Structures are given as C-alpha cells and as structure tokens.
Amino acid sequence: MAIVLGMVQGVAEFLPISSSGHLSLLQHFFGMEEPDTLYNILLHFATLIAVCVVYWRDVVDMIVEFFRGIASLFSRQGGRGNPPEGRRLVLLVILGTLPLFLILPFDDMVEGLGANPVFVSAMLLVTGCILFLSDRYGGGRKTVRTATVRDVLLVGVAQGAATIPGLSRSGTTISAGMALGFDRNFAVRYSFLMSLPAVFGATLLKVVKVAKSGVLDTKLLPMYLTGMVVAGVVGYFSIRLVKLLADKGKFGRFAYYCWIAGVIALIFSFLYTPASV
C-alpha cells in the first residue's frame, strides 16, 4: 500500500492528471483507506523535495536573493534599479501564491467535493480540455524578466481554482502561463517553483497539528519512509517528463489520458457500488 500511494502521489502530483482526483477515485471505487494525516504530509513533503532537486539552482538563487533583497531595503540605495533574476523570481512566486489565501475560508467545502466521484470525473474531463487547448493557443516569449504582476496573479488564481479535486494543479497553472504568453520552459519552471511555498506552508500547518495531537506510531515509520522514497523518486522523473513534453510542444498529450480516465470514472460512478471499507 505504501508503494502504491507513493507512486500515485509522485506521478499525479506533477503530471497534469490531478493527484487529488486520482486518490479520491481510488478510495471510492476500491475502498482504499485514506492515508493517515502524517503519512499524507510526508508524501507531499517528498514531492516538495523532488522539485527542489530538479530546480536546485533556482531554489538556492531564490533563497540567497531573498535575503539580499531584504538587506538592500535597508541600504542607502534602497533596492533601486533592476533586481537580479533570482530576486524577481522570488517576488513573482510570492505574488502568485497570494490568491490561495482567498481559498482558505472554503478549504473544507472544496475538500468535501472529492467525495463525489461524478464531480471529480467531470473535473478530469475539464482538465483534459484545458490541456488540449494549451498546446494550440498557448506559448509565447515571456520570461521571468518580462512576466507582469497581472500575469502571475492570474496564474495564482488558476492555482487556487486547481484546489478543486479533479483539476490538475500543474496542468492548470502551466496552461494558464502559456495562455498568458509565457515561454513554455518558463511556464513549467514557474508552476513548479510556485508550488513550493504552498506545499511547504500546508505541510508546516499539518505538522504542527499532528505534533499537538501527540499521535505518532513508530511502528509505521518503515511505511512512511518507503512511501516518501517512492513519491520522491517517481516525482523527480515525472517533473523531467513534463519539462520534456512541454519543450517539444506536446504537453497537451496528457489531455487524452484525462478524457479516458474521466469517462471511465464517470461510467463507474453510475454503475459501480464502492467496496466497503
């Protein structure tokens, strides 16, 4: 079970096919038990590490420029002039994350939508349409230097919308970036880097909640570690695959999978009685 959940998390978190949608459907149709809170946290943390490994140069540069930027605010020049690319990328990521705060009051309601397999299946079909259009109407030349505040806020809104189960976060944000004229490589890069503060923040909040509850079964540590390793390794190669296909203008190929999965899940939703847990 640890390996299966780790693979689902690693693949579906980064490939534009919706990890939340797949986990919801697996639980509904196969009676798969939902992983405990701590295990779920660790799986997400493993995929966060995968992003950091693939984009380690950007991550290091952003951390350095973040502190340099703070220091420059208190210098005589006050941070005037064109900021370095890493510092501008930090600003764009922060701005793109802001729309998520609008979703927080509705978090429980949005999460509850995952219990409806018909809704999740329909959202997979919508994800397929978004991906299909991304190759045909998306792509441009905007980079970290030329992307505007409006651009990244709209990508952030797309990220907020993708909290809906069945809508792919990576698929929605990458497609939104390309539709706004982002270079394909930058659209993928920005999407994954923008996920870091969101995943890290959610992970931190849940860790604090688990720590306060004082519930930790040490016997489950081997399962936790196995799931993390699988999710991290599979996630790494999933990111590489997304980058490769986006560079070749074949990002929309994932649409066909989402349509097939969505139709099959929709049929099963009306015909299948879920196994009892």
Q: Which residue is associated with the tokens 């995952």?
A: 114
Phi, psi of 162 (to 5 degrees): -75, 0
* Predicted pLDDT of residue 239: 94
Considering only CA atoms, which of 119, 125, 155, 100 is closest in space to residue 17?
A: 125
Angstrom CA distances, 235 to 14, 97, 156, 201, stand at 7, 22, 22, 19
196-231 burial: b if 16+ Cβ within 10 Å, else e = bebbeebbeebeeeeeeeeeeeeeeeebbeebbebb
For CA atoms 164, 167, 171, 174, the dihedral sign is negative
CB hemisphere CA count around 252 (13 angstroms)? 15
DSSP state of 272: -
Token pair recorded at residue 35: 């992983």
Distance CA 101, CA 156 (A): 10
Instruction: Check residue 2 and give its pLDDT.
Output: 66
What pLDDT was estimated at residue 277?
41
pLDDT tens string, the chain, 277 residues long: the values are 667 778 877 888 889 998 888 878 877 777 666 566 677 778 888 889 999 999 999 999 999 999 988 888 777 665 566 788 999 999 999 999 999 888 888 878 888 888 899 999 999 999 999 999 988 877 789 999 999 999 999 999 999 999 899 999 999 999 999 999 999 999 999 999 998 988 888 778 777 776 776 666 667 778 888 888 999 999 999 999 999 988 888 888 999 999 999 999 999 888 865 544 4
Is-contact 12 118, C-beta < 8 A?
Answer: no
- Residue 182 dihedral angles phi and psi, to the nearest 5°: -70, 140
Closest CA to 261 of 11, 36, 45: 11
